[in-house]
């Protein structure tokens, strides 16, 4: 087969429209008779709620205020259906959606949001994932706060540590990070010429979005259409539902086009973040720098909803040993609910955080053994034929040593 793209300098099909400003994003779309929407969000992290929309509904120009009562199936979520389209009895984080105002213009939406009365009965919250794992901790959902526990076992860790000349133990922490993409969430919902509920949105998962919209509205999937526009950055932050179901519900009920554009502040409140992780590492090596054992406990703060936490923490566990051969491994990787902003997909998907830990362990081992940090890495790098901690045999494409050599050369060492 003749390769027409691989290895060639090919012009992106969307490059011209983007650099000339002709590319269409959701906020560029205007339809005749279009209404506007805005979401009322929780201002407290954990509380039972009572919502009164009567005063807001009297405002001239307000078309409808949607709450959980208007949603046929009020549950959604990419892996676990643990999120509500609109909170019915309890909020679990700051930013939880409570109601959705649809009005003739944006100013009326904002005025109505101010007039909706929310009575909060605050309850104990937990923001530390280690505290959240304790049996007596406040429960974010009905059951345990532990969402997922991945276990990786290889060889005999205790024997590996007994045979180690040097052992390094440390705890590493990474912070919550927002994707901060350039284009805040925006979209338009309407009924198309074939009678389908249509949502025009910048998304990473149009097929997931369609499924979740269909389930929430109790519609056949073929009655829902998601049109993906140009995406102004995502990096994982558009893999969860934000405004898609709100728009679809409003369009379906009102039979009119409805548009929403988030402010930067609301964007921060609405979408998932990178998982903060607490990583307790213990690494043992021989006198000449060969890695013999590693034990790690990785605790990931999932926030109020699971999102992709199961997948992220599994990948963190799988990659906890890094690009190094270690014969004896014990890894526990745990995702935990808290009342923090919910966390999900972000570039690296769990493999990014653990690199902070295993690479610092390598530097500390090198210093304690009096070995150059490059040399100790070369002694332990995966090569063709190496076995990973999960038992995978690497049969091809393992150019790690070459990559390290090129990096050192580029740094002038």
- How far from each other are the two terminal CA atoms of the chain, in whole angstroms? 42
- Are the C-beta atoms of residues 160 and 284 closer than 8 Å to each other? yes
| Whether 101 contacts 109, CB under 8 Å | yes
CA distances in angstroms from 167 to 152, 288, 308, 323, 365, listed in the order given: 20, 13, 34, 19, 8
In a domain, 310, yes or no: yes
Quick one: which of 338, 324, 325, 333 has its CA closest to 281? 333
Instruction: Give 411's pLDDT tier (boundaries 50, 70, 90).
Output: confident
Tell me: the pLDDT tens digits for 202-242? Answer: 999 999 999 999 999 999 999 999 999 999 999 999 999 99
Using the structure block, give the residue that is written with the tokens 């056949």.
Answer: 220
CA-nearest of 200, 216, 307, 284 to 253 is 216
Whether 294 is in a domain gets the answer: yes
What's the CA gap between 378 and 365, in Å, rounded? 14
61 beta partners: none
Give the mean model confidence (pLDDT) for residues 257-268.
98
β-partners of residue 83 are 76
Residue 213 CB neighbour total at 10 angstroms: 29
Residue 1 has pLDDT above 60, yes or no: no
Query: Per-residue confidence at 2, pLDDT binned at 50, 70, 90?
Result: low
Decide if 188 is inside a domain.
Answer: no
Among 158, 155, 134, residue whose Cα is nearest residue 144: 134
Residue 6: the pLDDT is 84
Whether 95 is in a domain gets the answer no
162, part of any domain: yes
Residue 196 within any structural domain of the chain: no
d(CA 319, CA 351): 6
User: How much is the mean pLDDT over the chain?
Assistant: 96
* pTM across the whole model: 0.94
Mean pLDDT of the region 310-331: 98
Tens digit of pLDDT for each residue in 141-156? Answer: 999 999 999 999 999 9
Residue 136 near residue 104 (C-beta atoms within 8 A): no
**How many domains are contained in the chain?**
1
Three-class HEC string of the chain: CCCCCCCCCCCCCCHHHHHCCCCCCHHHCCCCCCEEEEEEECCCCCEEEEEECHHHHCCCCEEEEECHHHCCCCEECCCCCCEECCCCCEECCCCCEEEEEEECCHHHHHHHHHHCEEEEEECCCCCCHHHHCCCCCCCCCCCCCEEEEEEEEECCHHHHHHCCCEEEEEEEEECCECCCCCCCCEEEEEECCCCCEEEEECCCCHHHHHHHHHHHHCCCHHHEEEEECCCCCCCCCCCCCCCHHHHHHHHHHHCCCEEEECCHHHHHHHCCEECCEEEEEEEEECCCCCEEEEEEEEEEEEECCCCCHHHHHHHHHHCCCCCECCCEEEEEEEEEECCCCCECCCCCCCHHHHHHHHHHHHHHHHHHHCCCHHHHHHHHECCCCCECCCCCECCCCCCHHHHHHHHHHHCCC
Domain of 356, CATH number, reads 3.30.365.10
Predicted pLDDT of residue 5: 82
**Model confidence at 30: pLDDT above 90:** yes
Q: What percent of the chain has pLDDT over 90?
A: 94
Torsions phi, psi of 117, nearest 5?
Answer: -95, 125
Q: What is the average per-residue pLDDT within 391-406? A: 94
* Residue 393 belongs to a domain: yes
Q: Is residue 239 part of a domain?
A: no
Sign of the CA dihedral 297, 79, 264, 336? negative
- Check whether 394 has a pLDDT greater than 90: yes
Q: What is the pLDDT of residue 44?
A: 98
- Give the pLDDT band (50/70/90) at residue 276: very high
Q: What is the pLDDT of residue 3?
A: 74
Domain span at residue 287 reads: 129-178+273-410
Burial of 175 (0-12, 13-18, 19+ CB in 10 A): exposed
**Region 86-104 average pLDDT:** 98
Task: Report the candidate in 210, 219, 215 with the shortest Cα–Cα distance to residue 244.
Answer: 210
Residue-wise pLDDT tens digits, 346-389:
999 999 999 999 999 999 999 999 999 999 999 999 999 999 99
Tokens of 98: 């409570």
């Amino acid at each position: 087969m003749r390769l027409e793209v691989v290895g060639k300098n090919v012009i992106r099909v969307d490059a011209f429209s983007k650099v000339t400003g002709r590319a269409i994003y959701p906020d560029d779309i205007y339809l005749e008779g279009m209404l506007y929407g805005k979401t009322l969000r929780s201002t407290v992290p954990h509380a039972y709620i009572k919502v009164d929309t009567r005063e807001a509904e009297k405002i001239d120009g307000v078309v409808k205020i949607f709450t959980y009562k208007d949603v046929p199936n009020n549950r959604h979520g990419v892996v676990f259906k643990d999120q509500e389209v609109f909170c019915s009895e309890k909020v679990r984080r700051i930013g939880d959606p409570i109601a959705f105002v649809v009005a003739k213009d944006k100013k009326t939406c904002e005025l109505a949001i101010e007039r909706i009365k929310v009575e909060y009965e605050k309850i104990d919250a937990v923001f530390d994932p280690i505290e959240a794992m304790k049996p007596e901790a406040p429960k974010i959902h009905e059951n345990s706060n532990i969402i997922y526990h991945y276990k990786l076992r290889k060889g005999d860790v205790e024997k590996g540590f007994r045979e180690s000349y040097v052992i390094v133990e440390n705890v590493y922490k990474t912070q919550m990070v927002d994707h901060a993409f350039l284009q805040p969430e925006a979209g338009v919902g309407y009924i198309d010429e074939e009678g389908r509920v249509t949502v025009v949105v910048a998304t990473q998962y149009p097929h997931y979005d369609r499924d979740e919209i269909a389930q929430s509205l109790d519609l056949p999937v073929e009655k829902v259409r998601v049109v993906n526009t140009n995406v102004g950055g995502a990096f994982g932050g558009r893999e969860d539902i934000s405004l898609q179901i709100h728009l679809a519900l409003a369009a379906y009920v009102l039979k009119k086009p409805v548009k929403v554009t988030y402010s930067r502040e609301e964007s921060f409140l609405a979408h998932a973040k990178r998982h903060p992780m607490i990583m307790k590492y213990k690494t043992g090596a021989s006198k000449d720098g060969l890695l013999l054992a590693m034990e790690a406990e990785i605790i990931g703060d999932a926030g109020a909803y699971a999102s992709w936490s199961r997948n992220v923490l599994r990948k963190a566990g799988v990659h906890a040993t890094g690009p190094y051969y270690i014969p004896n491994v014990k890894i526990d990787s745990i995702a935990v609910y808290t009342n923090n902003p919910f966390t999900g997909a972000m570039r690296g998907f769990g493999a990014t955080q653990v690199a902070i830990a295993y690479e610092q362990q390598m530097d500390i081992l090198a210093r304690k053994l009096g070995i150059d940090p490059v040399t100790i890495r070369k002694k332990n790098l995966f090569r063709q034929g190496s076995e990973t901690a999960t038992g995978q045999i690497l049969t091809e494409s393992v150019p790690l040593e070459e990559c390290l050599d090129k990096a050192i050369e580029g740094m002038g060492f």
